[in-house]
Amino acid sequence: METLIVHPENKEQLAAVKAFLKALKINFERKLDEGQYNPEFVEMVKKAEKNADYKTIDPNNLWESLQSK
């Protein structure tokens, strides 16, 4: 058999394609666009950013700016 790759342009088209496939009892699988990240991963990164300890580095006084205060 063949595999078809469909590129709906909006949510309405996506819903229509899914409904059509379900009505014809055609199996399909859902994959995220390659440009999208897993939402759990995104949430993990956001939490890490909130807890990060940032330091400002003065390029004119590098060693002193790196010392813990």
DSSP 37-48: PPHHHHHHHHHH
Residue type, 57: I
Beta-carbon contacts of residue 32 (< 8 Å; ≥ 6 apart)? 38
Distance CA 24, CA 21 (A): 5
| Cα→Cα distances 56→50, 51, 60, Å | 16, 16, 12
| Cα→Cα distances 24→3, 13, 42, Å | 16, 17, 36
Mean pLDDT of 2-26: 94
User: According to the model, what pLDDT value does residue 68 have?
Assistant: 65
| Residue 22 pLDDT class (50, 70, 90 cuts) | very high
User: According to the model, what pLDDT value does residue 20 have?
Assistant: 97
Give the global pTM: 0.47
